[in-house]
């Protein structure tokens, strides 16, 4: 199954005999608390208008565990809590799932990665997000029939801090954040700027075109090959700030036909541990 689906393909499947479960994962990385601005409210955006039949899932509350204790800002959720949230959203193992967000793709990719990690066999992301949907929108809240999905982790690659450090030396570890954060020029969120020694800068924003859709598979494959990806199993890993935009890069790699592992704790976990080395500047080392 392809990792992504177009809006026209989704419309056709929703009109078919066995439509996919549709999850709305609208979310934004926000520094509102620091600036005093109102925080982004994905649930309110969902209620105001969503693809008909879609169920809202909260990334912070349901697709991540509690931050703290050096685990990063978006650690893996408790399996029991994740299963309950997904079943409440109507997710079952024998029914395909399509996830979308407001258009950036990061939140939808986090849901895609997490569902795959939890063992769901058929998950896709709406390429370009809600902005590409040309049909009518539905308002209010959808309450689906409960699903039966039970998470069974292990279906896709997961890295911890030690694994990420080792892969930066033995394979290819990609840093999906903006280049200025990789270099350590700025760090608006975490304790210190810079990158994991040996990691290669590969901003995930460069995987999509101006319309927010992924670049063609051949083009993405060429990009990752130029960065050092060989396609060998277990030899590519990704991290970001907290395991959200990094999931988007893992999705881009999947579109390119390359399997990759995700370091979920990412820079927010790594940089919180003062014993971990930090590299700065444009050079990986």
Q: Do residues 12 and 44 make contact, with C-beta atoms less than 8 angstroms apart?
A: no
Which residues are catalytic, by number?
Answer: 240
Query: Going edge to edge, which strands form the sheet with 261-263?
Result: 158-159, 261-263, 236-239, 172-175, 200-201
Nearest to 85 by CA among 64, 67, 110, 101: 64
């Amino acid at each position: 199954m392809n990792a992504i689906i177009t809006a026209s393909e989704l419309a056709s499947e929703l009109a078919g005999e066995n439509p996919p479960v549709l999850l709305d994962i609208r979310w934004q990385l926000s520094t509102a608390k620091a600036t005093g601005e109102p925080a982004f409210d994905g649930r309110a955006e969902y209620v105001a208008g969503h693809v008909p039949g879609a169920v809202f899932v909260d990334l912070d509350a349901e697709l991540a565990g509690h931050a703290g204790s050096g685990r990063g800002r978006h650690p893996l959720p408790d399996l029991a809590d994740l299963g309950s949230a997904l079943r409440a959203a109507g997710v079952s193992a024998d029914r395909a799932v399509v996830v979308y967000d407001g258009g950036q793709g990061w939140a939808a990719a986090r849901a895609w990665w997490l569902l795959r990690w939890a063992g769901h066999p058929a998950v896709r992301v709406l390429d370009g997000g809600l902005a590409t949907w040309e049909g009518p929108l539905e308002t209010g809240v959808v309450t689906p029939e409960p699903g039966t999905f039970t998470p069974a982790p292990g279906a896709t690659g997961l890295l911890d801090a030690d694994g990420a450090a080792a892969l930066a030396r033995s394979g290819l570890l990609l840093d999906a954040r903006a280049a200025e954060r990789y270099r350590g020029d700025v760090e608006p969120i975490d304790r210190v700027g810079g990158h994991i020694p040996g990691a290669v800068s590969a901003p995930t924003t460069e995987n999509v075109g101006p319309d927010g859709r992924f670049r063609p598979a051949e083009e993405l494959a060429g990009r990752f090959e130029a960065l050092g990806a060989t396609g060998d199993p277990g030899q590519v890993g990704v991290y970001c700030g907290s395991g959200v935009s990094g999931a988007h890069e893992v999705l881009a790699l999947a579109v390119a036909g390359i399997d990759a592992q995700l370091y979920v704790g990412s820079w927010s976990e790594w940089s919180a541990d003062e014993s971990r080395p930090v590299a700065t500047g444009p050079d990986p080392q």
